[in-house]
Amino acid sequence: MLHVEQWAEIRRMSRVEGLSQRAIQRRTGIHRLTIKRALETDQPPSYGPRRKRPSKLDPYRAEIERLLGQDDELSGVRIREEIEALGYQGGKSILDELLAELRPRYRTPRTFQSTVYRPGELCQFDLCEPRSEIPVGYGQLRKGYLLTAELPFSRAFAATLIFSKRFEDIAYGMNRCLVHLGALPQKLVWDREGAIHAGRARPTEEFAAFCGRLAVGWIILDPGDCQAKGALERTHRFLHGNFEAGRRFANPLDFQDQLDRWAQKINARVHRSTRAVVSERLAEEHERMRALPAELPRSDRRFVIRVPAQPYLRFDRNDYSLDPHLVGRRVEVSAGQSEISAIALDSGELAARHRRVFAGGLTFTDPAHQRALEELRAERKGHHREPEVEIRPLARYDALIPA
């Protein structure tokens, strides 16, 4: 095979140096007939693709195309099973190569266009998982979630650590992110998260109520359309690689503190896409956004229970003590991110107040509840304290009774 470079060199040696074909052959080692053909043509050599060898799949190609026409997502395993029933005895690799060539013909191509964001119009929300579990105390680690938010016009970013995908925790994360962003957008953008999406692109009642209290709209993306909030998806990669890498966290509070300081730092930088300082564009965006309300929607979880004979409340894998004097009475429990409290419905008495712990399998007893338990047990056993009786001197009785 004669390369273009060799063809050009042969012509140069003949036309410029005046070498004969025999001299060129001695210098290059190329066969004299090849040299002769190179000198006779003014077109550089070109070689087309080699003729394809017959494949074991050739007799089954029509059947494969028929199957893909019915379902373009049909797996290679199923297609191989179908053609093996027809006599195919080849391997998996050549089938995978053929499917990589044929499958795009049966799929509707997806195209993208450049998106222009207006100031204050949208705030994109999403959930992502930290690469490692979070220390939660008591020698335990727990899987957490990062609720992230980004204003796509300014690229201002905020994030909150939560430990479940319940709507109450998601609402807490959205409240906290909106406070850090400093204003209300026109619409909140979410994908089809279970606590957000009720089916058929409709919001859940909790999410609709949350947006109604803030007087904002919502956009729920189509299934599998995470690219529609691509600004936030790119920030997730930056978050994992720049924030989490090489950092250590003592507990959830330390994680959140480091995350807030990192978010503040990146919001002060020049963004690669907009070529502008994020905080400066955020200030411009605030001019077109509404101020946050004085009171954000509640995000604590509320439910009513009857205090059991063993006066403890089970919540998030832990047991928290209740006032034993309220056994049999109904109390309303309020569980937030930092505190768990309970109030008696009939009298308004405080039944419990505990610091919430995200570790699991633990029991927390208030010392006042423990003392009350011991007193009640003593009363049930008949161990009453003797009443205090004043002991007077006998001379006082002699003075009262005449001799």
Q: State pLDDT tens for residues 114-140.
A: 677 899 999 999 999 999 999 999 999
Split at pLDDT 50, 70, 90, the class of 107 is: confident
**25, two tokens:** 């052959």
Q: 76-104 pLDDT, tens per residue?
A: 999 999 999 999 998 899 999 999 999 98
Q: Answer whether residue 401 shows pLDDT above 80.
A: no
Both 146 and 249 in one domain: the answer is: yes
Angle, nearest 10°, between helix axes 61-70 and 76-84?
130
Both 88 and 149 in one domain: the answer is: no
Both 30 and 170 in one domain: the answer is: no
C-alpha to C-alpha distance for 91 and 83, rounded to whole angstroms? 12
pTM of the model: 0.72
Buried/exposed code over 31-69 (b: 16+ C-beta within 10 A; e: otherwise):
eeebbeebbeeeeeeeeeeeeeeeeebeebeebbeebbe
Split at pLDDT 50, 70, 90, the class of 293 is: very high
Both 184 and 241 in one domain: the answer is: yes
Residue 295 located in a structural domain: no
**260, two tokens:** 């807030």
Closest C-alpha among 154, 160, 148, 159 to residue 124: 148
C-alpha to C-alpha distance for 71 and 54, rounded to whole angstroms? 27
CATH number of residue 133's parent domain: 3.30.420.10
Say which residues have a Cβ less than 8 Å from residue 178's Cβ, sequence separation at least 6: 123, 149, 158, 184, 292, 296
Split at pLDDT 50, 70, 90, the class of 366 is: very high
C-alpha to C-alpha distance for 80 and 96, rounded to whole angstroms? 10
Both 195 and 317 in one domain: the answer is: no
Percent of the chain with pLDDT over 70: 95
**301, two tokens:** 């979880």
Show the domain range for 66: 58-106
Q: Answer whether residue 313 shows pLDDT above 70.
A: yes
Q: 208-218 pLDDT, tens per residue?
A: 999 999 999 99
Q: 225-252 pLDDT, tens per residue?
A: 666 677 788 899 999 999 999 999 999 9
Both 190 and 241 in one domain: the answer is: yes
Split at pLDDT 50, 70, 90, the class of 392 is: confident
Residue 106 contacts residue 112 (beta carbons within 8 Å)? no
Residue 352 gets which letter from DSSP?
E
Report the first-to-last Cα separation within the chain, whole angstroms: 150
Residue 131 contacts residue 180 (beta carbons within 8 Å)? no
Instruction: State the pLDDT at residue 106.
Output: 87
Split at pLDDT 50, 70, 90, the class of 181 is: very high
Residue 50 located in a structural domain: no
Instruction: State the pLDDT at residue 125.
Output: 96
Residue 45 contacts residue 60 (beta carbons within 8 Å)? no
